[in-house]
């Protein structure tokens, strides 16, 4: 049968990492396993105490039916409220300001479906995680790019957004700590963004998927720390990167009640919530955050330091990123992002993602993820740097 796909599906590209995964699989089949700095999926296991909590909860038949609460079981919501208070000093109410989600991707998708009609405008960072733009287009909306430039610390210049665009926009996406640039947003920037959104009547969607992957003692802020942010903002959180739980599909949204209600209405028509045993395990994860997170951070920090100093020994002049497990590296002269990534793979067996995958303003960069799969990580970093030293002819 040759049944055409819906036009809305034909309008959007395949999910970028599908193609990168296919390339990697092909290399492995040909016997040339790459050193994989590709997808940002933690290579370390979920903490034992979380697995243990899941095993126990899964034994209880009470966790097996649908979660009929719609917002997540009350105990999970309470654990989120405790975490938010402890970590950010932010009080969130379990009566309508929290929504359990299937990771943060799902909440990001559904907030767009909840608000965007054909022709509506969404302000989207560029470069960025693909979901904000693709889902906007899927809904028939227009994604207006906000360039992330090195000279602005990879923060959107809100003053550069034309008045007419700001007036038309319904949603503005921010993501700090940032994928792919590794940048962070200070609280005063988030306060400016809240003010901008209030003045232009825009909902601020803050993607906090990497809020806990930070170094040197840094604690990235929540936008809800800004006084009055609940009036304009909703923030998406995830256990994926914090607790090495990407496959578990659990996270939450928190923010202003109308936004949480719209998200909830949208998602309840699509999915039926997270397995309640996983919610119970997530409670344990959040409650034992302090005993886990420092070791996760220390491990990436070791890799970050080894990788960045290796690159600097080859002639780069990089500051180590202060958060995320991404290193956003300008390509050497004579390359664009695709040709540099291709040379890395062909000549050095090093897999990195061309920055242009993340948008027009990602051109000129490649992204390395420190979530390296397989054997000794520092040894693989060393091999990658050696391969680059021996096989690339970089003319600085």
Q: Per CB under 6 A, does 246 bind ligand PLP?
A: yes
Cα distances from 92 to residues 46, 96, 286, 389, in angstroms, run 27, 9, 15, 51
The least distance separating ligand PLP from the CB of residue 26, rounded to whole angstroms, comes to 23
Q: Per CB under 6 A, does 40 bind ligand PLP?
A: yes
The least distance separating ligand PLP from the CB of residue 246, rounded to whole angstroms, comes to 5
DSSP class of 220: P
Near ligand PLP by CB under 6 A: residue from 209, 263, 341, 385: 209
* Torsion angle defined by CA atoms of residues 157, 169, 144 and 13, in that order, rounded to the nearest 10 degrees: 140
Interface region with ligand PLP, contact rule CB under 6 A, candidates 101-109, 272-280, 304-312, 368-376? 101-109
Q: Per CB under 6 A, does 105 bind ligand PLP?
A: yes
Site string for ligand PLP, 111-150 (x = CB under 6 A): ------------------x---------------------
Near ligand PLP by CB under 6 A: residue from 84, 99, 100, 104: 104
Q: Per CB under 6 A, does 238 bind ligand PLP?
A: yes
Which residue intervals of the chain are DSSP H helices?
7-10, 16-29, 48-58, 74-88, 103-115, 131-138, 163-168, 187-200, 257-268, 276-287, 289-313, 337-348, 377-391
The least distance separating ligand PLP from the CB of residue 325, rounded to whole angstroms, comes to 10
Of 389, 375, 391, 393, give the one whose Cα is nearest residue 35.
375
Nearer to ligand PLP, 107 or 380 (CB): 107
Interface region with ligand PLP, contact rule CB under 6 A, candidates 24-32, 98-106, 227-235, 377-385? 98-106
| Spatial separation of the C-alpha atoms in residues 369 and 367, rounded to whole Å | 6
Q: Which of residues 154-193 bind ligand PLP (CB under 6 A)?
A: 175, 179
Nearer to ligand PLP, 207 or 343 (CB): 207
Kindly write down the DSSP assignment for every residue of 263-291, as one continuous string: HHHHHHTT-----HHHHHHHHHHHHTHHH
Cα distances from 27 to residues 22, 30, 343, in angstroms, run 9, 5, 14
Q: Per CB under 6 A, does 103 bind ligand PLP?
A: yes
Angle between helices 276-287 and 74-88 (to 10 degrees): 20
Residue 193's CB is within 10 A of a number of other CB atoms, namely: 25
Site residues (CB under 6 A) for ligand PLP? 40, 103-105, 129, 175, 179, 207, 209, 238, 240, 246, 251
């Amino acid at each position: 049968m040759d049944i055409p796909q819906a036009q809305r599906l034909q309008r959007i590209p395949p999910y970028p990492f599908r193609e990168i995964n296919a390339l990697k699989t092909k290399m492995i089949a040909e016997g040339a396993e790459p050193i994989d700095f590709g997808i940002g999926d933690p290579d370390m296991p979920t903490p034992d105490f979380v697995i243990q909590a899941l095993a126990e909860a899964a034994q209880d038949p009470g966790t097996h039916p649908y979660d009929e609460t719609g917002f997540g079981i009350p105990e999970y919501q309470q654990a989120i409220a405790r975490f938010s208070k402890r970590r950010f000093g932010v009080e969130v109410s379990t009566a309508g300001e929290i929504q359990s989600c299937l990771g943060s991707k799902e909440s990001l998708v559904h907030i767009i479906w909840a608000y965007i009609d054909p022709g509506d405008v969404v302000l989207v960072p560029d470069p960025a995680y693909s979901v904000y733009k693709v889902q906007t287009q899927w809904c028939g909306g227009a994604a207006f790019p906000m360039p992330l430039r090195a000279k602005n610390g990879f923060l959107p210049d809100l003053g550069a957004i034309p008045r007419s665009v700001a007036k038309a926009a319904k949603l503005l996406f921010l993501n700090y700590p940032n994928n792919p640039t590794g940048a962070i947003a200070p609280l005063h920037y988030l306060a400016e963004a809240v003010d901008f959104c209030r003045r232009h009547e825009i909902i601020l969607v803050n993607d906090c998927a990497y809020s806990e992957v930070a170094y040197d003692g840094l604690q990235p802020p929540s936008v809800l720390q800004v006084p009055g942010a609940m009036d304009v903002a909703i923030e998406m959180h995830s256990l994926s990167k914090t607790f090495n739980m990407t496959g578990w599909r659990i996270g939450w949204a928190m923010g202003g009640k109308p936004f949480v209600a719209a998200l909830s209405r949208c998602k309840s028509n699509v999915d039926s919530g997270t397995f309640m045993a996983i919610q119970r395990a997530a409670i344990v994860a959040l409650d034992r955050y302090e005993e886990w997170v420092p070791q996760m951070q220390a491990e990436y920090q070791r890799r970050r330091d080894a990788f960045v100093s290796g690159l600097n020994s080859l002639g780069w002049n990089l500051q180590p990123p202060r958060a995320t497990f991404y290193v956003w590296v300008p390509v050497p002269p004579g390359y664009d992002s695709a040709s540099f990534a291709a040379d890395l793979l062909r000549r050095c067996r090093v897999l990195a993602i061309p920055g242009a995958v993340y948008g027009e303003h990602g051109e000129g960069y490649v992204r390395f993820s420190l979530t390296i799969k397989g054997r000794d990580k520092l040894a693989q970093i060393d091999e990658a740097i050696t391969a680059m030293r021996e096989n690339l002819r970089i003319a600085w």
